[in-house]
Amino acid sequence: MNTSAYNFPGSLWSSVTGCSSGLGLNLTQAVLAKGERVIATLRKPEAIAHLAEKYSKEQLLILSLDVRFPDQIDSAFDATRDKFGRLGVVVNNAGYGLLGEVEGTDDATARNLFDVIFWGAVTISRKVDAYLGSILYHHLTLITSQ
């Protein structure tokens, strides 16, 4: 992965969501391997315990985050500010797929899906705008591997 386009002074990557597997995990590993700092957030931090053993706490901060809950998003950004002072790149990768007919999907399942893939992304984006809006160099990327 070529991250040279994002090498602004004192850069700090934050793979904010979805670091437990797939694209989020691979991106987190690639950025760490380049020597950058990462704030890896995911619902079950134990899923990336192997990374905590490999990288120092100065390079990798692992936080529990379920994007369905705005208070957890606020806490993750607060912990990032407290630990590193700032961040430069936010990658919002939380999500999952649901296969089936609309009429066969119960309301709770559909609402949960939208809470993650729509409202989670909206809340992260709003927080990034408030948090990073005054910083000259920053990036917000919304991605999915589904």
Dump pLDDT digits (tens) for 46-73.
Answer: 999 999 999 999 999 999 999 999 999 9
Report field, pTM of the whole predicted structure over 0.75: yes
The more confident residue out of 98 and 144 is: 98
**What's phi and psi for 60, nearest 5 deg?**
-135, 120
Between CA 122 and CA 31 the distance in angstroms is 25
Q: Is the pLDDT of residue 109 over 50?
A: yes
79 and 59 Cβ atoms separated by less than 8 Å = no
The more confident residue out of 58 and 140 is: 58
Domain boundaries, the chain: 10-142
- Specify the CATH number of the domain 10-142: 3.40.50.720
